[in-house]
Structure 1
Amino acid sequence: MIALVLGLLLTPPSDAPAAVIRTSAGEIVVGLDVERAPGTTCNFLRYAAAGAYDGGAFFRTVVFETDANPSQIDVVQAATPAGSDDPGFGPIPLERTRDTGLRHVSGAISMARGEPDTATSSFFIVVEDTGNLDFGGDRHPDGQGFAAFGRVLDGMDVVRAIHAMPATDEQLDQPVRIETVALLTDIPARCRG
């Protein structure tokens, strides 16, 4: 019963928007939860539809065992060609996991940010369950957590391979190029306009 409840909390609905992140290391298919994290999902879809991730890269890997932060995490982070500080289409409001019910479990896709309401285009994928990225967690000093907005449906082997690549100070020695982020479904009506 607990597994069923957790599955409902972590898996986007079957009619949810989906995209494939085609990288030089392989493909990662993500399902996005527009119902529980509409602002963050629509933001990601806007960048993908505009081709803004094309030519970008997975540039960062954070490995629990070597993470210098006292609140260790296991993630890989990606950005547009303009980098993780790309102002892109501007910042979006933070959709806290406290409100969405989504969690930073293995395979979750989430938005990187500095302060609350500053996320733009850079996203990360969680490699191992990492509750300290949720609301109330201590990875960010403000305790507001990060905005999970979906999960990997296929390609965790690619995510794990990127996570294990050589890195210096969390920066991949050879970033993994994002060829394209292609939408597999129509953009939901709530994301248009």
Structure 2
Amino acid sequence: MTVLKRALDVAVAGVVLLAGLPVLALAALAILLEDGRPVTYTQPRAGQGGRVFTVFKFRTMRVHDVPAHHMPQVRGGDPLVTRTGAILRRLKIDELPQVLNVLRGDMTLVGPRPTLPEQVREYDAFARRRLEARPGMTGWAQVNGGTELPWRDRILLDVWYVDHASLWLDLRILARTVGVVLRGERVRTGPLEEARLHADGAGRRG
């Protein structure tokens, strides 16, 4: 599965990068016109096994000096988020530069979202299980509620994914991601309950 997953990553990320060039260019121009430079930003994130890498994103917030690990969950209505940034976040376009991370091998198309190293240092043994997989541009948590879910529920969904990962599941998640982009994030109680039962059955290590 690892070879097939990597082949899918490279093929899809390459197509998205080439086909999405006009979108990337328009997004960069919109950010530049509204709020100036820089149009992108980089940030250290924890990858598989806790290895730190640099993630690429479009800048959606005004330049500020608040450390990322001190900020609560940022939503589109946050005063720091620009008007362009709110649109990019809603359509997930701000994450598109991460196809470069996928091509580099830092990330995969589907997996737990990468978090800050400061957050990883606070993980318990159960939460650290999400580091067993390479981080993804989208994931099981993202198509079942995403930022509408509390952090602990996202961890439950991520660990469920780690224990059930397959190419077929990845294809399902990619298909559902299209729906999230079109309709927005919605909490799906069925997968969340299944993830809770799975965690209880596994003894919730740690």
Asked if Structure 1 and Structure 2 have the same fold, meaning a TM-score greater than 0.5 normalized by the shorter chain, the answer is no
Provide the TM-score with structure 1 as the length reference: 0.29
Q: Which has the larger radius of gyration?
A: 2
Structure with more of its chain in helix, by fraction: 2
Q: Which has the higher contact order (CA 8 A, sep 6+)?
A: 1
Structure with more of its chain in strand, by fraction: 1
